[in-house]
Structure 1
Amino acid sequence: MPTHAIQDAYPPEFAHCYGCGARNPHGHHLKSYLVGDETVARFTSDLRYSGGVPDHVYGGMIASLLDCHGAASAAAYAYQKEGRQVGDGSQPIRFVTASLKVDFKQPTPLGVELVIKGRLRSLEGRKAWVDLVLTAGELTCAVGEMLAIRLQDHAHSCPELTVPASSE
């Protein structure tokens, strides 16, 4: 397993995400890694993330994990396609979610390690399609499909906009 997570390369202005931002003191700090041709993250939900089925994770948490891992996966695959290393010191690559489809296959148990994996389906221009799977042990709990859009260099809020340089 690589020592640096994909999220570790996010610039400070993009490190505040509740799901994966290192600079969010209340967040989950999800860490995703590129391992061969797939991405992998691990997370254990505690009791405060209980869903409607006792002793199981609520669906919003599952979607959140897939969302953060999918966007990190898209960035990792873009680095890979460009022959770069995550966190190589040059302009960071960052993606945002345009679409996320989640299919809940089975209730997801609380208190056990969840493994989220991503595989690149396609990377065309600024668009990345990533297939996602969330498991608990041998149990496939959810699968997802994400369309992520690469932010333009120095974009801060919307993937289609670039923030003009400051006039100061």
Structure 2
Amino acid sequence: MTRIAFQDLYAEAYTHCYGCGRNNPHGYQLKSYWDIPSVQTIAHIRPEFHYTGGVPDHLYGGLIASLLDCHGTASAAAFKSHVLGIVFDGSENLVRCVTGSLNIQFIRPVPVNTELVLTGRLLKIEDRKIQVTLSLSANNIECAKAEMLAIQIKSP
């Protein structure tokens, strides 16, 4: 069975994001999926050396925040869409969310040119507000974690 990335299920108007937009050739092209359907999300990415930060051969904090942000809003969209009964087969668009707040804890430096794993878990949904907990790991070691409050965009 072929998995479809959450970001590939966004309406065309929402496909330009630098972090995860399928129609932004200059962006990261982050793709998020179900790891455990309706329970946990996952994304993988291998940032290249030009994303190095203040610590040699390690990512700068802005990229870490950006990855957690994009995976977080995709996760929130997936959790909310699941609750609404939206099917993840490409026949309908997922809801779209924006970041209300993102509280990040940087635990240890994140190496460049290493596969990073991002995960997301639902904390709660209240109407248009979706709270998600996030983790970013390298080599099976958690390097950053975050809590996000995502807000579902009102339908046009």
> TM-score normalized by structure 2?
0.94
Mapped pair 1:70 → 2:40: no
CA contact (8 A) 1:46 1:110 kept: yes
State percent identity of aligned pairs.
Answer: 48
Identify which of 90, 106, 109 aligns with 1:107. Answer: 109
* Greater displacement, 89-98 / 139-148: 89-98
Residues 1:20 and 2:20 aligned together: yes
Q: What residue in structure 2 maps to residue 163 of structure 1? A: none
The separation in 1 between residues aligned to 2:129 and 2:144, in whole angstroms, is: 23
Q: Which amino acid aligns with 2:71?
A: H
Are residues 1:35 and 2:41 paired? no
Which residue of 114, 123, 126 maps to 1:121?
123
- Give the 3 Å change call, closer, same or farther, for CA 107–133 of structure 1 in structure 2: same
Specify the alignment match of 1:83 in structure 2: 85
Q: Distance in 2 between matches of 1:91 and 1:8?
A: 9
- 1:136 pairs, out of 124, 135, 138, with 138
Q: CA deviation at 1:83?
A: 2.3
Structure 1, unmatched stretches of 5+, are: 155-168
* Paired residues of 1:2 and 1:33 also in contact (CA < 8 A): no
Q: Is the 8 A contact 2:86 2:94 kept in 1?
A: no
Give the aligned partner of residue 53 of structure 1. Answer: 55
Shift of 1:142: 0.2
Which amino acid is the alignment partner of residue 52 of structure 1? G
State which structure, 1 or 2, has the greater radius of gyration over its C-alpha atoms. Answer: 1
Map of 2:150 onto structure 1: 148
Q: Which runs of 4+ in 1 moved over 2 A?
A: 86-92
* Post-superposition offset of 1:70: 0.3
1:18 aligns to what SS in structure 2? Answer: coil
Residue of structure 2 equivalent to 1:164: none
Q: Structure 1 length as normaliser, TM-score? A: 0.88
Equivalent residue number for residue 6 of structure 2: 6
Supply the distance in 1 between the matched residues of 2:121 and 2:59 (Cα, whole angstroms).
Answer: 23
The answer (yes or no) to whether the contact 1:75–1:95 under 8 Å persists in 2 is yes
Q: Is the 8 A contact 1:8 1:87 kept in 2?
A: no
When the two structures are aligned, how many residues end up with a matched partner?
Answer: 154
Which 10-residue stretch deviates more, 67-76 or 80-89?
Answer: 80-89
Task: List alignment gaps of at least 5 residues for structure 2.
Answer: none
Q: CA deviation at 1:91?
A: 5.2
Give the superposed CA RMSD.
1.4
In the TM superposition, what is the alpha-carbon distance from 1:34 to its structure 2 partner?
1.5
Encode CA deviations 1:31-66: one digit per residue, 9 max, x unaligned: 000122100000101011001000100000000000
Provide the C-alpha distance between the structure 1 equivalents of 2:13 and 2:73, rounded to a whole number of angstroms.
Answer: 16
**Other structure's SS at 2:79 match:** helix
